[in-house]
Amino acid sequence: MTPHGATSTTEGRLLPVVDLYSAPFWEGTKKGKLRVQACATCGHLRFPPRPYCPACTSAEDEWHTMSGKGSIWSFVIAHPPVLDAYLAFTPYNVIVVELAEDKSIRMVGNLVSGDSNAPNSVDTSKLVVGSPVQVTFETVTEDITLPLWTLDEP
Amino acid sequence: MLKDATAIVGIGQTRFAKELTGSEVAMACEAIRAALGDAGIAASEVDCLCSYTLEPLVEIEVARNLGMREIRYFDQVGYGGGAGCAVVGHAALAVATGQARVAVAWRSRKRGSAANRPWANVGEAIEGPPAWSRPWGLLRPADEVAMMTRRYMHEYGLTRDHLANVALAQRKHANRNPDALMHDRPMSREDYFNARLISEPLCLFDNCLESDGAVACVIVSAERAVDCPEPPVYVHAFSQAISTELQPMTNFFCPDPLDGSAHTCAQTLWEHSDLTPRDVNVVQLYDAFTPLVLWSLEAYGFCARGEAGDFSSRGNLEWPDGALPVNTSGGGLSEVYIHGFNLITEGVRQIRGTSTNQVDGAGVCLVASAEGVPTSALLLRSE
């Protein structure tokens, strides 16, 4: 099932294939940086990464490091049936975060406690739309470090 | 001009069930044969075939099984639940422009058994747009729609009671439709709230059925239609749409995720029509998940953005007394789920006056395919 050259794990966890356009993002997370593609011509931020800027159609790009701060735009609590690799965590959360620098840049992630990277490590009552969050990283394989999020409590 | 230039003159379907034994080819052929029989047109006259890209069989299978001769136009539409109305719309365009004379459109689907669920059959390495959501466990379409639903709840105060209004209305309709999978299964509000959660805020009954079935229809010119045995159901308007920076199902990355493809589609539909939402008597709205019905009500102009929850209250979506009966066959939630093609045949029955939940004097029916993916819509009318 796994395409040639793809990243996978033995645990059945789903992982992204790194491609030409997403590589700088995944290079960034490996170094503990949350980077977003920006147009080198007009400065417009875009995510997910793609060849052209939707604002000005320039193909010139650069990568900007974000502060890693954002807020919960929405969330779900997933219950079975799910894939086997995710079953032990049910019910677990998945969140969408809007970034502090630009609220139209949103990323999917999990809210985790920080002591644990498990997607069920935060009590579900802590999930509130609008709550501030801070990025953290989980090294999953040699190639893939996933951004995760913790509550950014004062 | 497409307006009223073509009509649906035949509809046909297989039995609907959790699991049917025949192949998808055989099921498609059975539905198409029934639709041609209904239209009083021989298979040898068919020269246009339109279907979904999801369709597991190709046009040549249908053509050579049913004794069709020379096919002159064929077309498949992508994006799953967004395709249904476009499959009919493209057939209508082919006929209206004279490219073809007798068009058949269909959907045949076997997905009742758990082994056939696409989300469960993925490799571990995820390419393309899902690479930005699935690794974190946003695995199923239900999760993706739940994410949009929670945001909508936050912005507009929608509650699970509003979602239940959709599920309950459609179940009541299915209880009066002998062909519906849920015909013998009444549901109470208590049943809804006792159901297991799938992806909060969505529970089991916010999800469509997993089922097997095939549905087909026949489209000819308005001139030819008047000679067919059943009253013509005119394709008054058709539209297709992709909204700004749309990412199908996980539309979290565009400037305004709640302003989805249905909003764009509606604009074109009304522009191409002599009618307004006020002229519509009954609607069939794609319903893989209950919130999609509410968002389509807003998009197509039956209420303002943020008001669909309230609009769904007081039995407004229910036949016979509701202000706007929705999915009168039971739809994908309670009749059968075949990517929304049964909504089109129910729209035809409403205009013919033969629905088991017949809206009195239904002269105009809106049918809409899925919000949240590249989508399409049809306005059907009696004259």
Residues B331-379: pLDDT tens digits?
Answer: 999 999 999 999 999 999 999 999 999 999 999 999 999 999 999 999 9
**Nearest partner of B230 among B3, B36, B368, judged by Cα:** B36
Instruction: Note the pLDDT of residue A2.
Output: 34
Instruction: Note the pLDDT of residue B115.
Output: 65
Over the stretch A11-67, which tens digit does the pLDDT of each residue have? 789 999 999 999 999 999 999 999 999 999 999 999 999 999 999 999 999 999 999
- For residue B154, list chain A residues with Cβ-Cβ distance below 8 A: 74, 129-130
Residue in B125, B129, B201 closest to A8 by CB: B125
* Cβ-based burial of B31 (10 A; exposed 0-12, middle 13-18, buried ≥19): buried
Instruction: Mutation target for B interface from A19, A22, A94: give the one with most B CBs within 10 A.
Output: A94
Cβ within 8 Å, pair A2-B196:
no
Catalytic residue among B52, B152, B192, B337: B337
C-alpha B178/C-alpha A10 separation (Å) is 48
Residue ranges in chain B assigned as alpha helix (H): 24-39, 59-65, 84-96, 141-156, 160-175, 189-194, 222-225, 261-271, 290-299, 308-311, 331-334, 341-352
C-alpha B155/C-alpha B159 separation (Å) is 11
C-alpha A103/C-alpha B34 separation (Å) is 52
For residue B319, the number of C-alpha atoms closer than 13 Å in the C-beta half-sphere is: 25
What is the residue-averaged pLDDT of chain A? 93
Cβ within 8 Å, pair A104-B154:
no
Instruction: Note the pLDDT of residue A9.
Output: 47
Q: What percent of chain B has pLDDT over 70?
A: 98
Over the stretch B157-183, which tens digit does the pLDDT of each residue have? 999 999 999 999 999 999 999 999 999
Quote the DSSP letter at residue A124: G
C-alpha A62/C-alpha A95 separation (Å) is 27
Reported as a pLDDT band with limits 50, 70 and 90, residue A5 is: very low
C-alpha B294/C-alpha A86 separation (Å) is 31
Q: How far is CA A5 from the centre of its chain?
A: 22
Nearest CA in chain B to A97: B252
Residue where the block lists tokens 């015909």: B183
Cβ within 8 Å, pair A79-B199:
yes
> DSSP string spanning B298-336?
HHTTSS-TT-HHHHTTTTTTSTTTSSS-B-TT-HHHHT-
Residue A8 has pLDDT above 70, yes or no: no
What six digits make up the tokens of B93?
A: 């365009």
Q: B88: helix, coil or strand?
A: helix
A136 close to B126: Cβ distance less than 8 angstroms: no
C-alpha B37/C-alpha B218 separation (Å) is 10
What six digits make up the tokens of A149?
A: 């999020």
Residue where the block lists tokens 């079975």: A80
Instruction: Note the pLDDT of residue B116.
Output: 66
Distance between B191 CA and the closest CA of chain A, angstroms: 18
Catalytic status, residue B234: no
Distance between A45 CA and the closest CA of chain B, angstroms: 11
Task: Please state the pTM of the whole predicted model.
Answer: 0.96
Cβ within 8 Å, pair B132-A48:
yes
Rg (CA), chain A: 16
Residue A7 has pLDDT above 50, yes or no: no
Instruction: Mutation target for A interface from B127, B136, B149, B207: give the one with most A CBs within 10 A.
Output: B136
Distance between B142 CA and the closest CA of chain A, angstroms: 9
What's the CATH architecture for B6-112+209-381?
A: 3-Layer(aba) Sandwich (3.40)
Quote the DSSP letter at residue B229: S
Q: How far is the CA of B354 from the CAs of B11, B33, B171, B252, B366, in angstroms?
A: 12, 20, 19, 41, 16
- For residue B127, list chain A residues with Cβ-Cβ distance below 8 A: 3, 6, 16-17, 19
Cβ within 8 Å, pair A14-B127:
no
Adjacent-strand bridge partners of B203: B197
Over the stretch A117-152, which tens digit does the pLDDT of each residue have? 999 999 999 999 999 999 999 999 999 999 999 999
Instruction: Note the pLDDT of residue B1.
Output: 81
Distance between A20 CA and the closest CA of chain B, angstroms: 11
C-alpha B293/C-alpha B183 separation (Å) is 21
B84 close to B348: Cβ distance less than 8 angstroms: no
- For residue B118, list chain A residues with Cβ-Cβ distance below 8 A: none
- For residue B245, list chain A residues with Cβ-Cβ distance below 8 A: 54
Instruction: Note the pLDDT of residue B111.
Output: 79
Give the pLDDT mean for B94-112: 94
Reported as a pLDDT band with limits 50, 70 and 90, residue B123 is: confident
Catalytic residue among B52, B73, B286, B300: B286
Residue in B126, B147, B255 closest to A17 by CB: B126
Give the pLDDT mean for B257-267: 96
- For residue A48, list chain B residues with Cβ-Cβ distance below 8 A: 129, 131-132, 247, 253
- For residue A149, list chain B residues with Cβ-Cβ distance below 8 A: none
Cβ within 8 Å, pair B123-A6:
yes
What six digits make up the tokens of B229?
A: 């045995």
A39 close to A61: Cβ distance less than 8 angstroms: yes
Cβ within 8 Å, pair B124-A75:
no
Nearest CA in chain A to B198: A79
Report the length, in residues, of chain B: 383
Cβ within 8 Å, pair A107-B140:
no
Residue type, A134: Q
Q: How far is CA A100 from the centre of its chain?
A: 14
